[in-house]
Amino acid sequence: MKLKLLAISSALLLFTACERVIEIDLNSSSPALVVEATLNDSGEPAQVRLTKTVNFSEPNNYPAVENATITLADDKGNSTVLQHKGKGLYESTQIKGVQGNTYTLTILAEGNNYTAVSQLPKKVNFDSLWITEQNTFIGKTKVASVKLKDPIEIGNNYRFKLGLNQGRFSNLFLFNDNISNGQTLSRSLFVNDNTKMEVNDTVKVEMQCIDAASYLYFFSLNQLDSGPNQSASPANPVSNIKGSPKALGYFSAYSVQRREVIVKE
Amino acid sequence: MFANLKSKHNLYFPSLPDLESVLNLQNFFRLAFLLSFFVFATTTFAQNATLSGTIKDSKTGEVLIGATVAVENSKPIVGTVTNVYGFYSLTLPKGNYTLLVSFIGYQNLKKSVDLQQNTTLTFEIAENTNELTEIVVTSDAPQDKVQNAQMGMEKLEMKEMNKIPVLLGERDILKTIQLLPGIKSAGEGNSGFNVRGGTSDQNAIFLDEALVYNASHLLGFFSTFNSDAIKDATVYKGGMPAQYGSRLSSVLDIRMKDGNDKKFGMGGGIGLISSRLNVETPIVKDKGSLFLSGRRTYLDLFLKAADNDNTLYFYDFNAKANYKINEKNRIFLSGYFGRDKLGVGNTFGIDWGNTTGTLRWNRVISPKMFSNTSLIYSNYSYRISINAAGNEFDILSRIRDYAIKQEFLYLPNPKHTITFGVHSTYHNIVPGQVESRGSNVINVELQDRYAWENALFVNDEWKISPRLNLNYGLRLTTFSLLGEGKFYSYNSEGKVTNTTNYGSGEFVQTYINPEPRLGLSYTVNLNTSVKASYTRNVQNLHLISNSNAGTPTDLWIPSSKNIKPETADQWALGLFKNIKDNQFEFNVEAYYKTMSNQIDYKDGANTRANDKIEGELLTGIGRAYGIEFLFRKKQGRLTGWVGYTLSRTERQIEGINGGNWYAARQDRTHDISVVAMYDLSKKVSLSAAWVFNTGNAVTFPSGKYTVADKTTFVYTERNGYRMPDYHRLDIGLTWIRKKTAKFESSWNFSIYNAYGRENAYTITFRENKDDRTKTEAVRTALFRFVPAVTYNFKF
Q: What is the mean pLDDT of residues B435-442?
A: 61
Band (B207; pLDDT cuts 50, 70, 90): very high
- Domains of chain B from N-terminus onward: 153-254 (2.170.130.10), 255-553+567-794 (2.40.170.20)
Q: Which helix (H) or strand (E) holds B176?
A: helix B173-177
Q: In the beta sheet, which residues pair with residue B351?
A: B341, B383
Whether the bond into B701 is cis, omega within 30 of 0: no
Nearest CA-CA distance, residue A265 and chain B, Å: 18
Nearest CA-CA distance, residue A122 and chain B, Å: 22
Q: How far is CA B240 from the centre of its chain?
A: 12
Nearest CA-CA distance, residue B672 and chain A, Å: 21
Tell me what pLDDT residue B554 has: 76
Residue A187's closest chain B neighbor by CA? B389
From chain B residues 83-122, the ones with a CB under 8 A of any chain A CB are none
Can you give the C-alpha Rg of chain B in angstroms?
27
Given a cut of 50, whether residue A8 has pLDDT beyond it is: no
Choose the closest CB to A53 out of B604, B705, B767.
B705
Given a cut of 60, whether residue B354 has pLDDT beyond it is: yes
Band (B495; pLDDT cuts 50, 70, 90): confident
Is B716 close to A60, i.e. CB distance below 8 A? no
Nearest CA-CA distance, residue B443 and chain A, Å: 7
B599/B624 Cα distance (integer angstroms): 15
B445/B610 Cα distance (integer angstroms): 10
DSSP class per residue in B27-53: HHHHHHHHHHHHHHHT---SSEEEEEE
End-to-end CA distance of chain B: 47
Do strands B203-207 and B250-256 pair parallel, antiparallel, or not at all (unpaired)?
parallel
Tell me what pLDDT residue B557 has: 92
Burial class of residue B148 (count of CB atoms within 10 Å of its CB; 0-12, 13-18, 19+)? buried
Q: How far is CA A34 from the centre of its chain?
A: 14
Go through chain B and tell me how many residues it has: 795
Q: What is the mean pLDDT of residues B708-714?
A: 88
Band (B29; pLDDT cuts 50, 70, 90): low
Q: What does each C-alpha distance from B400 to A55, A71, B117, B481 come to in angstroms?
A: 49, 57, 48, 15
Quote the mean pLDDT of chain A.
86
Is B346 in CB contact (< 8 Å) with chain A?
Answer: yes
Given a cut of 60, whether residue B371 has pLDDT beyond it is: yes
Q: What is the mean pLDDT of residues B54-60?
A: 91
B757/B171 Cα distance (integer angstroms): 22
Question: Phi first, then psi: what are they for B321, rounded to 5°?
Answer: -135, 145
- For residues A197 and B8, the model is more confident at A197
Find which of A189, A233, A240, A248 to mutate to test the B interface (most B CBs within 10 Å of its CB): A233
Least confident of A236-250, B370-384, B503-517, B591-605: B591-605
> B501: how many CB neighbours lie within 10 A of its CB?
10
Is B177 in CB contact (< 8 Å) with chain A?
Answer: no
Q: Which residues 6+ apart lie within 8 Å of B105 measured at CB?
A: B127, B128, B157, B159
Spatial strand order of the sheet with B775-781 comes to A18-22, B775-781, B762-767
CA angle B535, B541, B543 (to 5 degrees): 110
B300/B313 Cα distance (integer angstroms): 6
Q: Which residues 6+ apart lie within 8 Å of B757 measured at CB?
A: B727, B728, B784
Least confident of A156-165, B605-614, B638-647: B605-614
B330/B318 Cα distance (integer angstroms): 20
Least confident of B324-338, B694-708, B771-785: B771-785
B603-615 CB burial, b ≥16 within 10 A, e <16? bbbbeebbbebbb
Q: Which helix (H) or strand (E) holds B22?
A: helix B16-41
Is A237 close to B775, i.e. CB distance below 8 A? no
Q: What is the mean pLDDT of residues B617-646?
A: 93
Side chain identity at B534, as an amino acid letter? Y
Least confident of A94-103, A194-203, A213-222, B254-263: A194-203
Given a cut of 90, whether residue A48 has pLDDT beyond it is: yes
Choose the closest CB to A60 out of B548, B711, B779.
B711
Given a cut of 60, whether residue B439 has pLDDT beyond it is: no
Nearest CA-CA distance, residue B253 and chain A, Å: 27
B457/A158 Cα distance (integer angstroms): 53
Is A36 close to B774, i.e. CB distance below 8 A? no
Tell me what pLDDT residue B461 has: 92
Report the 3 state secondary structure along B183-209: EEECCCCCCCEEECCCCHHHEEEEECC
Size of interface A-B (CB pairs under 8 A): 253
Residue A179's closest chain B neighbor by CA? B444
B387/B395 Cα distance (integer angstroms): 12
Residue whose C-alpha is closest to residue B272's, from B730, B737, B734, B747: B747
Tell me what pLDDT residue B161 has: 80
Given a cut of 80, whether residue A144 has pLDDT beyond it is: yes
Tell me what pLDDT residue B308 has: 64
Given a cut of 80, whether residue B762 has pLDDT beyond it is: yes
> B407: how many CB neighbours lie within 10 A of its CB?
19
Do strands B48-57 and B123-125 pair parallel, antiparallel, or not at all (unpaired)?
parallel
- Would you call B158 helix, strand, or coil by DSSP? helix
Choose the closest CB to A10 out of B342, B546, B601.
B342
Choose the closest CB to B312 out of A3, A8, A10.
A10
B795/B790 Cα distance (integer angstroms): 17
Contact B415, B462 (CB under 8 A): yes
B763/A20 Cα distance (integer angstroms): 9
Q: What does each C-alpha distance from B634 to B110, B137, B144, B578 come to in angstroms?
A: 23, 10, 12, 10
- Would you call B267 helix, strand, or coil by DSSP? strand
Q: How far is CA B652 from the centre of its chain?
A: 27
B587/B540 Cα distance (integer angstroms): 32
Residue whose C-alpha is closest to residue A90's, from A99, A80, A98, A100: A80
Tell me what pLDDT residue B35 has: 57
Q: What is the mean pLDDT of residues B502-511?
A: 94
Q: Which residues 6+ apart lie within 8 Å of B172 measured at CB?
A: B166, B191, B222, B223, B225, B227
Tell me what pLDDT residue B423 has: 97
Residue whose C-alpha is closest to residue A63's, from A110, A25, A23: A110
Tell me what pLDDT residue B30 has: 61
B767 neighbourhood in chain A, CB within 8 Å: 60
DSSP class per residue in chain A: --HHHHHHHHHHHHS--EEEEE---PPP----EEEEEEEETTSPPEEEEEEE-B-TTS-S-PPB--S-EEEEEETTS-EEEPEEEETTEEEESSS---TT-EEEEEEEETTEEEEEEEE-PPP--EEEEEEEEEEETTEEEEEEEEEEE--SSS--EEEEEEEETTEE----EEEE-TTTTTSEEEEEE---SS----TTPEEEEEEEEE-HHHHHHHHHHHHGGG-S-SS---------EEESSPPEEEEEEEEEEEEEEE---
Residue A60's closest chain B neighbor by CA? B773
From chain B residues 690-709, the ones with a CB under 8 A of any chain A CB are 696, 698-709
Residue whose C-alpha is closest to residue B105's, from B73, B65, B165, B76: B65
Quote the mean pLDDT of chain B.
86
Tell me what pLDDT residue A101 has: 95
Q: What does each C-alpha distance from A104 to A90, A97, A173 come to in angstroms?
A: 15, 12, 26
> B640: how many CB neighbours lie within 10 A of its CB?
21
Is B443 close to A180, i.e. CB distance below 8 A? yes
Q: What is the mean pLDDT of residues B629-639?
A: 90
A238 neighbourhood in chain B, CB within 8 Å: 603-604
A134 neighbourhood in chain B, CB within 8 Å: 345, 347, 388
Q: What is the mean pLDDT of residues A209-220?
A: 93
B769 neighbourhood in chain A, CB within 8 Å: none
Q: In chain B, pLDDT over 70 holds for what percent of residues?
A: 89
Tens-digit pLDDT profile for residues B519-560? 999 999 888 999 999 999 999 999 887 554 556 777 899 999
Residue A161's closest chain B neighbor by CA? B708
Residue A213's closest chain B neighbor by CA? B604
Find which of A2, A4, A14 to mutate to test the B interface (most B CBs within 10 Å of its CB): A14
Tell me what pLDDT residue B38 has: 55
- For residues B361 and B191, the model is more confident at B361
Nearest CA-CA distance, residue B568 and chain A, Å: 23
Q: How far is CA A11 from the centre of its chain?
A: 31
Q: DSSP secondary-structure letter at B446?
A: P
Contact B700, A26 (CB under 8 A): yes
Q: Which residues 6+ apart lie within 8 Å of B20 measured at CB?
A: none
A61 neighbourhood in chain B, CB within 8 Å: 773
Given a cut of 80, whether residue B416 has pLDDT beyond it is: yes
Tell me what pLDDT residue B610 has: 78
Residue whose C-alpha is closest to residue B300's, from B337, B352, B342, B353: B342
A254 neighbourhood in chain B, CB within 8 Å: none
- For residues A6 and A28, the model is more confident at A28
Q: In chain A, pLDDT over 70 holds for what percent of residues?
A: 88
Q: How far is CA B442 from the centre of its chain?
A: 39
Nearest CA-CA distance, residue A104 and chain B, Å: 20
Q: DSSP secondary-structure letter at B135?
A: -
Q: What is the mean pLDDT of residues B91-111?
A: 89
Contact B649, B197 (CB under 8 A): yes
B553 neighbourhood in chain A, CB within 8 Å: 1, 3
Contact B617, B488 (CB under 8 A): no
Contact A56, B714 (CB under 8 A): no
B386/A33 Cα distance (integer angstroms): 41
Can you give the C-alpha Rg of chain A in angstroms?
20
